[in-house]
């Protein structure tokens, strides 16, 4: 009897220690984020202090930040640009990747395996090697200062997304296809009527990742866009926070906070799908 009580106490003590440590490190993990969000409310002079208790709630920082870095454009424009870029590339990416994945996963054609191997190898190809030739290419076509070089390479299906969806399709029983075929469905019928409704979870995962990556994309807009009115949030935020010119730190914190709200919402509502994507591409390789 005595023994079991002490064992229970020990377990409880272990639990307390565990939660204390994990909580403490959790605060450290979240500190930079909290510091940013809370800094966006502090008065400008105190923005960089380490405290997580704001001296007062100053929503004016958001209004100040929203006006941007001089000129006519406000952050409304940059947010709109980002949404346009991310939506178009995500739409293309996910639908075209699904179509391609169906071809790879379900149709036996000559060269399927070879093409699939090439695609998987390019999954490991460092994008850096493509930067210079793409830059010259797009320059020669006359696409500078347009969205085409930013959207198009992410519009056509990338290996990551094809692979993700192929893995998912392989988990759907082939009998469904066969039954539909007997009922007279062709490849298109099978894809649109049978497979597509079943692909919903992986399409959500794909949408999240594609949107997330294009939202964060920094290098390509930096390379190709010259007109400030065309900037997405990522580049605008970089210019806005230029250490040489910035005066209102709280406003910079405010715009930084706003810029990651879409990502945070994705995390909040679609965490399950995010995890699914990370695990599928990570485990079933």
Partner 1 sequence: MVLLLQVKAFFSHKRKKLLKDNLAGYLFISPWIIGFLAFMAYPMILSLYYSLTNYNLFSPPVWIGLQNYIEIIKNDPKFLNSLKVTLMYVAASIPLRLVFALVLALLFYKASKMIDFYRAVYYIPSILGGSVAIAVIWRELFGYYGALNNILMASGLMEQRFSWIGNPNTALLTLIALAVWQFGSPMIIFLAGLKAIPVSLYESASIDGAGWWHKFYRITLPMLTPVIFFNLIMQIIRLFLIFTRAYIITGGGPMSKTEVYALYLFREGIRYHRFGYASALGWILLIVIAIITFIIFKTSNRWVYYETKGEL
Binding positions for partner 1, 172-191, rule CB under 8 A: 187, 191
Q: Which is nearer to partner 1, 179 or 278 (CB)?
A: 278
Stretch binding partner 1 (CB under 8 A), from 55-63, 72-80, 177-185, 249-257: 249-257
User: Does residue 194 touch partner 1 according to CB under 8 A?
Assistant: no
Taking the alpha carbons at both ends of the chain, their separation in whole angstroms is 51
User: Does residue 227 touch partner 1 according to CB under 8 A?
Assistant: no
The tokens for 16 are: 């307390």
Stretch binding partner 1 (CB under 8 A), from 59-67, 68-76, 169-177, 263-271: 263-271
List 94, 151, 158, 203, residue binding partner 1 (CB under 8 A): 158
Q: Which is nearer to partner 1, 2 or 140 (CB)?
A: 140
Binding positions for partner 1, 122-141, rule CB under 8 A: 122, 124-137
φ and ψ at residue 49, rounded to 5 degrees: -65, 155
Cα–Cα dist 177/107, whole Å: 11
Size of the site for partner 1 (CB under 8 A): 87
Q: How far is the CB of 209 from partner 1 (least distance, A)?
A: 11
Binding positions for partner 1, 17-46, rule CB under 8 A: 18-19, 22, 26, 29-33, 35-36
User: Does residue 99 touch partner 1 according to CB under 8 A?
Assistant: yes
């Amino acid at each position: 009897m005595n023994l079991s009580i002490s064992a229970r106490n020990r377990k409880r003590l272990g639990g307390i220690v565990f939660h204390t440590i994990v909580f403490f490190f959790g605060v450290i993990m979240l500190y930079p984020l909290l510091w940013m969000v809370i800094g966006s409310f502090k008065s400008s002079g105190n923005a960089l202090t380490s405290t997580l208790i704001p001296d007062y709630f100053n929503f004016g920082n958001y209004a100040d930040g929203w006006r941007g870095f001089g000129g006519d454009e406000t952050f409304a424009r940059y947010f709109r640009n980002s949404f346009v870029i991310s939506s178009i590339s995500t739409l293309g990416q996910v639908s075209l990747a699904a179509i391609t994945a169906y071809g790879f996963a379900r149709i036996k054609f000559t060269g399927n395996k070879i093409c699939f191997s090439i695609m998987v190898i390019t999954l490991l190809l460092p994008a850096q090697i493509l930067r210079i030739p793409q830059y010259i290419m797009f320059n020669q076509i006359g696409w500078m200062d347009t969205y085409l070089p930013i959207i198009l390479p992410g519009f056509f299906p990338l290996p990551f997304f094809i692979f993700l969806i192929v893995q998912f399709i392989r988990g759907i029983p082939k009998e469904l296809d066969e039954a539909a075929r007997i009922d007279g469905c062709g490849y298109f019928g099978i894809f649109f009527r049978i497979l597509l409704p079943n692909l919903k979870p992986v399409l959500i995962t794909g949408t999240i990742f594609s949107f997330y990556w294009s939202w964060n994309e920094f290098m390509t807009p930096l390379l190709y866009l010259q007109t400030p009115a065309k900037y997405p949030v990522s580049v605008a935020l970089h210019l806005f926070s230029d250490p040489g010119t910035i005066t209102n730190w709280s406003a910079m914190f405010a715009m930084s906070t706003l810029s990651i709200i879409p990502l945070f919402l994705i995390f909040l509502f679609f965490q399950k799908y995010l995890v699914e994507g990370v695990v599928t591409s990570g485990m079933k390789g």
